[in-house]
């Protein structure tokens, strides 16, 4: 099992959800998060005062898939849906997952994902 995490622009959330649904990836968790990358935010204005906005609003997706094949499909769908070509498009990470359990039934591993 593999966990895929993606941090994308807020305005791309619905596009990413649609792309995941189109490839039949249904089990997702979504968080509203704040962060910055190499650009360290941008200059902004709050109540007429100029400020440096160092943490930008983003959306984080967490998806657990069953195989490397699904990992690649998931990553490709997210990358295509979240792409704008501008700084701040986001990042995608993947991790090997040791175990999982469906609380209701006690199923573990692959069976807990379906």
Query: At residue 20, does pLDDT exceed 90?
Result: yes
Residue 55 confidence (pLDDT): 80
Q: Is residue 56 part of a domain?
A: yes
* CATH number, domain containing residue 69: 3.30.70.120
Q: Give 93's pLDDT tier (boundaries 50, 70, 90).
A: very high
Number of domains the chain contains: 1
Residue 87 confidence (pLDDT): 86
- Per DSSP, the three-state class of 92 is strand
Query: At residue 21, does pLDDT exceed 80?
Result: yes
**pLDDT tens, residue by residue, 22-65:** 999 989 999 999 887 776 655 666 677 666 667 889 999 999 99
Q: Is residue 47 part of a domain?
A: no
Taking the C-alpha atoms of residue 35 and residue 59, their distance in angstroms, rounded to an integer, is 10
Q: Is residue 44 part of a domain?
A: no
Helix segments in 1-114, DSSP class H: 13-22, 68-82
* Residue 78, both tokens: 């997210």
Query: At residue 89, does pLDDT exceed 90?
Result: yes
Q: Is residue 103 part of a domain?
A: yes
Residue 42 confidence (pLDDT): 59
- Yes or no: say if 113 and 66 are a contact pair by the CB < 8 Å rule: yes
Range of the domain at 85: 2-38+52-112
């Amino acid at each position: 099992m593999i966990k895929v995490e993606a941090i994308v622009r807020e305005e791309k959330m619905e596009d990413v959800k649609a792309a995941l649904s189109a490839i039949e990836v249904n089990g997702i968790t979504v968080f509203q998060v704040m962060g910055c990358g190499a650009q360290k935010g941008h200059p902004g204005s709050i109540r007429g005062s100029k400020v440096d906005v160092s943490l930008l609003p983003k959306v984080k997706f967490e998806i657990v898939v069953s195989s490397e094949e699904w990992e690649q499909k998931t990553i490709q769908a997210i990358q295509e849906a979240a792409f704008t070509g501008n700084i701040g498009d986001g990042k995608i990470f993947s991790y090997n997952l040791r175990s999982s359990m469906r609380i209701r039934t006690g199923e573990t591993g692959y069976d807990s994902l379906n």
